[in-house]
């Protein structure tokens, strides 16, 4: 069927990114074309994706001023309703606002257009490695770059599509100012068994900290042992690569504990705890060993019930410590959730680390 809404559009592209303060648009009035009655304005930094600034601005027959207030733009797109008639504008001017003009350095852009090895990244941060002075125009011999998520692999030159790649979490780059430009840039990341690796690896795994164990995130029911645990570890479980790690639960004050429910690590069942020792303390320094336990792997389902129930039989303490004696994997070990209840099946609140 024929569309009920028809539009015309035209795009004005500048030679740089400018802070546009005002658009001065003079309508055409005459017998050679129709007068545009309303117009919409979109702006773009790239010339490919646009953001709407104004919609259906009514135009008079003379000078029209559309205020943008310093919007940074490389291109402006004008759209207006149309029939099959011809439409015209008498004049179109742009006034700059306060700000900076950003011009593309084509040589710099092309230095990041690469088809082998380091082929792209986001989160770009630069530093003056010569003297630390990052002000504009400062003297420097080497500029260092830290990139976040980075693609490493091959890219087809004819269509810029990725042929093969791996994504690492970060990488480094260096620009030597005393070399010819086409030789000045280098990229750095470790390679293990011909596979690119992240330059920086965290000491602890973000989203997998011990404090996740006692909150309700990832459970179908919070603070109840019938809760079912997700298999997605997005800030819901605890995971570590430490040897014989410990989890200490602080209940803030001495509590009468009746039962302990444990969900084993469920994002990857092979990373679960296999054997652990349970201890308790009232001062956080001197612990009394309660017993050692074995715990099964989870199934890895997205609705996982608790894995182990430990009857504490009225242990009175402020601190409870789980010492991992052995995991199912030699590389990582973790737990999903922990819940403690008193003799009346009331949830006992605490903090774990």
Nearest residue to 336 via CA among 242, 228, 245, 187: 228
**CATH fit for domain 7-96, picks 2.30.30.60, 3.40.50.970, 2.60.120.260, 3.90.1150.10:** 2.60.120.260
pLDDT at 3: 46
Q: pLDDT per residue over 127-144, tens digit each?
A: 999 999 988 888 999 999
Nearest residue to 214 via CA among 183, 244, 248: 248
**pLDDT over threshold 50, residue 265:** yes
Q: What percent of the chain has pLDDT over 70?
A: 97
Average per-residue pLDDT for the chain: 92
CATH 2.60.120.260 domain extents, the chain:
7-96, 210-352
pLDDT (average), residues 253-277: 96
- Give the distance from CA 69 to its chain's centroid: 31
Q: 216: how many CB neighbours lie within 10 A of its CB? A: 15
Q: pLDDT per residue over 76-118, tens digit each?
A: 999 998 777 888 899 999 999 999 999 988 888 888 899 999 9
Domain 210-352 has CATH 2.60.120.260: yes
pTM of the model: 0.47
- How far apart, in Å, do the first and last CA atoms of the chain sit? 63
Inter-CA distances, 353 with 237, 276, 283, 320, Å: 12, 16, 16, 11
**pLDDT over threshold 60, residue 18:** yes
């Amino acid at each position: 069927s024929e569309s009920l809404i028809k539009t015309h559009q035209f795009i004005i592209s500048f030679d740089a990114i400018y802070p546009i303060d005002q658009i001065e648009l003079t309508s055409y009035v005459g017998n050679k074309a129709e007068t545009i009655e309303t117009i919409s304005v979109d702006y773009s930094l790239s010339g490919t994706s646009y953001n709407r600034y104004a919609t259906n601005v009514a135009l008079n027959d003379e000078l029209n001023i559309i205020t943008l207030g310093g919007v940074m733009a490389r291109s402006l797109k004008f759209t207006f309703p149309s029939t099959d008639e011809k439409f015209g504008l008498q004049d179109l001017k742009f006034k700059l606002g306060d700000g900076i003009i950003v011009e593309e350095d084509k040589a710099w852009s092309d230095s990041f257009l690469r088809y082998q090895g380091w082929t792209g990244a986001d989160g770009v941060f630069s530093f003056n490695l010569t003297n630390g002075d990052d002000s504009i125009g400062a003297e420097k011999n080497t500029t260092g770059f830290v990139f976040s998520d980075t693609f490493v692999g091959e890219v087809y030159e004819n269509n810029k599509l990725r042929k093969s790649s791996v994504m690492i979490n970060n990488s480094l780059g260096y620009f030597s100012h005393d070399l010819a430009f086409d030789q000045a840039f280098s990229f750095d990341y470790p390679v293990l068994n011909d596979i690119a690796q992240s330059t920086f690896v965290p000491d602890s795994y973000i989203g997998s900290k011990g404090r996740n164990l006692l909150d309700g995130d990832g459970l179908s029911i919070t603070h109840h042992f019938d809760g079912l645990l997700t298999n997605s570890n997005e800030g819901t479980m605890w995971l570590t690569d430490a040897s014989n790690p410990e989890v200490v639960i602080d209940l803030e004050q001495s509590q009468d504990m009746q039962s302990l429910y444990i969900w084993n690590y469920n994002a990857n069942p092979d990373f679960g705890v296999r054997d652990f020792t349970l201890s308790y303390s009232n001062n956080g320094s001197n612990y009394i060993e309660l017993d050692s336990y074995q715990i099964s792997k989870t199934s890895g389902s997205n609705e996982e019930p608790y894995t182990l129930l430990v009857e504490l039989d009225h242990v009175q303490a402020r601190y409870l410590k789980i010492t991992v004696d052995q995991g199912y994997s030699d590389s990582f070990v973790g737990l999903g959730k922990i819940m403690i209840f008193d003799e009346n099946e009331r949830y006992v609140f605490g903090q774990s680390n």
